[in-house]
Structure 1
Amino acid sequence: MKIRSSKYLLTMIVFCLLLGTFPVILMGIFSYYRSSHTIQEKVNASNMQVLLQTQIGVEQVLKSVDRSLMYFVDSPDVNEAMTLDMKPKDFEKLMGLNIQLGKLQAFDLGVQDVSLMNISKQWIYNNYGFYRLNESDNKTKYEATIGLPQPSMWVSELDFGPDGDLVYSDKFFNEQAVNLIKKIPINSMSPIGIAIAKVPLEFMSKLISRSDGIGEVMILDDHFHVLANNHNHANPQGANLVQAGYIKKIMSENQQTGNFNTKLDDDNVSVIYRKSSYNGWYYVSIMSIEDITKDSKAVGWYLLFICMGILVVISIVSFIGSRKMYNPIFNLYQAIMGSGPTMKVSNEFKFIGEQIQLLVTNQSKMANQIQTQLQQLKVFFTLKLIQGDADQQETEDKLKLYGYPVPPRWMIILVLQIDTTEKTKWSSIDRELTMFAINNIISELLVKECVIHPIIVNDFQVTIIGGEQETYEQFKNDIYTLAEHIQKTVKEYLELQISIGISRTFHEFEHTHRAFNEGVEALKYQIRLGYNVILFNEDVQPGPNMQLLLPVRIQYELIDAVKSIDYDKVKESLHQFMEEVFKLKMSYLEYQIPVARLLTDLVRIVQDSGESYSILFQGQKSLFDQLFELKTAHDIEQWLSNVVIEPIMHMLQDKSENQYKKISGVVLRMIEEEFDTDLTIEECAVRLNYHPSYIRRVFLKEIGENFGEYLTQYRINMAKKWLMDTDMKVLDIANRLRYNNSQNFIRSFRKLEGITPGQYREIRKRRLDGYEN
């Protein structure tokens, strides 16, 4: 195989060429662009300076004209002349005005003509002589000029058109010129005349530089008419450029100064402009970008020749260097091919890489398979130890096989469980995932302390930890510190609270099963201590002969409060009950006895009320199954309050309210039917088979009045009806309503109605008689 026929060699040469040529081409393009941009910036800056000088020169002349005309209109002769009708006797005044008009028309100011108009006296005086305003065709426009808001303004003759937008043009402005108009008096709210100074546009054009280096320079008025131009053939004086694209761009930017590039007549141009703050005119410079960058073309050719030379050198070096770098690759390819069958390969380096990658991949797969199987065997062995299924000989063999160290002086088992997933980012279905994450965290945290590999057994994470401490107390303290560290790490990374049960120490792996059960048993004592606890089995075991004391009195008080629907008392009694039950150090089975007894009494309330137990407590699990799954006293108290007691009290309250309405309805019906008998609350209670106090309380709660007041009011209402509808005597009414005598009835009627029964009958009859009449 010849080297020159290698595809990889060709690739190396092409790559080296690209690697060398790309920076050179990029550098050349950037250098050319940068030089062109720099030249354009300098030309634009120069044009801006020229434009500024042009503006300053023009405005110096305009301001001189402005000051001269100001002095003229403010002079005593003009002020005196404005008060005269200019009759033949005022000839001398006209001669004085003529002298002053001549002074205004100085050569350096370019003023061609000055007109003085007295609108109130109806006369005009200028270079053409004196005549009356009535003789002018533009009398109306002159008079309208007085009403314009500005006291002084520069106006181009081009703005005076037949449309009447500006009304101060006259027949003397036929030549192209700009005009300065000032009212007389200058600051008066009621001017009587105007003065107009005309500066020809030809004079304005002489003020603009005619150097070809700055392109076309124009002066535009505030309506974008050309006032002056150094290249008059492009945009002649008087042309309206408001529809030109670059003028629209200037209008849209609404800036005092600016520059931008645009296209004008198929040519790319640079536009620079300045807006005068003196009279609102625009000074615009337009120059072809091709003219600006013509010097950069020479720079471009120079850069092209240099880059071509560099590319030639790079090509030679790339070819020679690539061949030298390819020689080791070709030798390696021949070594891999060896004496085997000849293969036709277009890319030797790719072939070498594929062979090496195949070798590495096979090795990695084999290592992963072995490691996975070994890991599974370790987990299976640990599980057999915990379940007590491994005998002594198997244990010794597997410890040597898996490379576990000899049993240390002290060993214990940490049994970890998640307290709750409520109010966390995890749900109950994520329990397996979170347990797996916790197992990985512990594997990384306790690399040195773990005797064998940590595993997950049901809902517990199990870790066997060993130590070589001198004393058991020192070992126990270190274990507690490790447990705290595990809790903090899990809280930090998984935002979960965990509790840890710790077994008693053991020294032989045969006791692993016993230690695991001790750790699980220790966790059950969190029923008294709550969440996020670390429990040593030896510390949580109850003392000998601990007598079980049931808080019977508090339990009875709690049951009575539930039946009475006293929410505050229920909450207080339930809390006292839980404190009494869990203040003693007992076994977790003994804690369940008083709580289960309380739950039984609560269920009995439901049964006694006649309600269905299954309807009130709907769920897949029974209440006792739910109770025994709870981990802490706080959880039990919350569960009893929210799941059991509260529904029972709501049920009792609904039944009580329905019973109250039924009882009060029966009593009301008795009053309506037997108001004229000796009806009492006691008699009602006997009929309803309730205590009178209970009937009295129910009636007051539902009706809002006690029984006696309601019966009295009802009888008085019946008396009022009889007084109106019948001729019954007051004595007969009193006897029928069961009063002892008529005086008691009259006093009772007066107390409620404010008048006697007789007065009530008389008043009502008079009202009825009045209506009939």
Structure 2
Amino acid sequence: MLSKLWTPLASGSKPELRKVLIIASLLATVPVLIMGAVAYFTASGRFIEEIREANRQTMLQIQQRIDEKLITLEKIALQNAVNPTLSRFVSLSNPEEDFETLGLTMSLLNSMQVLIEDIDAVYLYRPDQHLVVSPNRGLVGEEVLPEYVREAVSLNPSKVWLDHKLESELVRDGFHQVTFVRRINTSGQTPAGYLIVNLNDTAFFRVFSNMKLGSRELVIVTPSGNVFADGSSSLLQNPLAQYPFFQELMNSDEREMLMTEQVDGSPMSINYLKSNYNGWKYVTMIPYSDLTQHLQKIKQTTFLICLLLVLISVTATGVLSKRWYRALQSLMDLIKNKGGLAEAPHSQNEFAVIRHYFDSLHENNEILREQIQESMPLLRANFIQNLLTEPFHSSMIERAEYYNIPVQHAYYTVLCIELDNTRGHTEQDSNLFHYAVINISKEMISHHAEGLVIRMHNGHIAILINHDAEEPSLADLKTKSFLVAEEIRSVAESLLHITVTIGIGRSYEGLGQVRTSYGEALEALKYQLVEGSGRVLFVGQIKAETSSFAYPYDLEQQLLTCLKLANMDKISTLLDDFAQALRAEIVSHEHVRQSFIQLIAASLRALYEIDPNSTRVHDYNLYERLNELNTSDKIVGWLKAEVYPPMVGHINTRTASRNHSTIQKALDYVHEHYDTDLSMPQLASMISIPVSQFSHLFKVEVGMFFSEYLIALRMEKARELLETTDFKISDIAEKLRYNNSQNFIRVFKKMNGMTPGEYRTRHSKEKPEQKAAQGANK
């Protein structure tokens, strides 16, 4: 082709024409080369950035998973630190002499060590007595604790994470011991004790292996300078401390950092991310050759494409310089073959056809603009969601004007609406209720101020109010917001026969603060757990958290006793009392939720003690379901309907299966003669088996020792007599075969957390309150 073009030019063409063709060829090839170079560097830069971003996201996931493990362990430690058993042991002046409390403490520590994942060891430390309680070694001296742990405890911290390097030749930077220390406060003058939990650092390595790092290496550097490294891969020949970039990372306070360094003679891309939770620094290292190995193929491909385009450009230049009309005709054929455009009249010339083509493009552009206008409500709703949930930046002001967001007045308030009791409705019914509440909200707002109403992705309905300039103060803005919210709640209840809960955030000046107001509205909604649903909740009226919280441990123990005795009616009553006790405290919604979690955990543990070989009695995760419920009334109803009936049924089934056994005969006798003197030898003789065999069979069948069962049964009877009769406490003690009332009072207080007199007084006060509450509900 090139020879055919060049031959006539070299033989018969004028020199001017030849120069023009050469210049045209150069002008055609230079843009191709420039575009090829730009395309290569752009693609390579984006490729490397995408790899680095993917590496950052992987590192962020590892950090979040490890932080979740540490936070979960901290919450579990806090839950056990407030256990009365540990507090009672820490308060003992002579812990070696109280074997019962020591045994309970060791059992609790052993359950933590066995049941909590990734735990190596659990200790209870009494620094004032220089004693340590270990579930494996019992009561020993404080020398079993490392020196660095005792030094940390000497500073009297409320809680602290410790990490310590254990030298080893198997791993480059050695093994590490991660320890969490939690202070256990006491109510008296006794010095505090400390719950010490050692975490197995192999949990971190499992996170590493699950993320499939490939050729990358990830290390974790703690504030104390210790290094957690995956021993399965190592890109570095020397310890990390010998590299300058490591010292730079250790001294840096930045949240993230990206650098390229020469390490052992090879360039490496190093990413650094710092955890906000504990200050640990996550560092990944990738050889730069791994990042750029695919760029060589891109470079070669780009070169070949550019070379091909240059040849094509040179050829096209020669052809087009001779045959302009042919090129124009090709353009005409392309336009005619292009679909989706109006057909031009055949009488028009080529330039008229081209003009008609561009007119058609303009017409299509107008159609597209109309489609955008039709989609404007959806685009507007998406922008409002971004405004409420994402960090504010200056470009949002211009976008707000484009989407016609009210900006006439300075102050904004966000209301958040949640429909109550929609569980069980079909998706269509739920959508209809939301649509109706949105329309009611729009109508109510139009009477008071400028505002917008949208449905958020989380299912809530958000209202953005732009207050009138005539409102003189923030107190008036709050009053106006309350008025709007109460009108919406009242109209929804009267027209739709449903209840809604509305959370109100504070009023702020400027669009930049609406995200804060929205967050406060959501926080207010969470307090349904404390205040109940079907009302208006303002974030400023939420009760402040107190420094101490009294968990109703006595009610928990009563409930566990009734569970072991399979008394569902009494369990239902105690659940109501448990919820009422939480409401009486000034607590946050998190305290309420954690209290119910602890109650469920204690009940499952009691069920396991009764029947360790039992199958799972619930077909779903109780804790996940609990977190879905947003009021204490819903939680109590769920516990009564779905949680405790299967437990009681399982215990009853177990009891029914032994109706004809020898142990059941003994149980029947105990229930009929609980108010007489009973003993194991007496019952063993009655069913004609040895005492030792009777003790073993009773523990296997009933799930507790005979003495524990007899005390629990008599305490249940004692509570019934205190609630239903006016017998003196000494008479009740005598009826239940206690030699003196002081022994009876001591056992009762240990089982119920209060004396018999206090129990009778409290129960007599609760009855009128419960009757009044029932009358109010009617």
Q: TM-score range by the shorter chain?
A: 0.3 to 0.5
Larger Rg: 1
TM-score (norm 1): 0.38
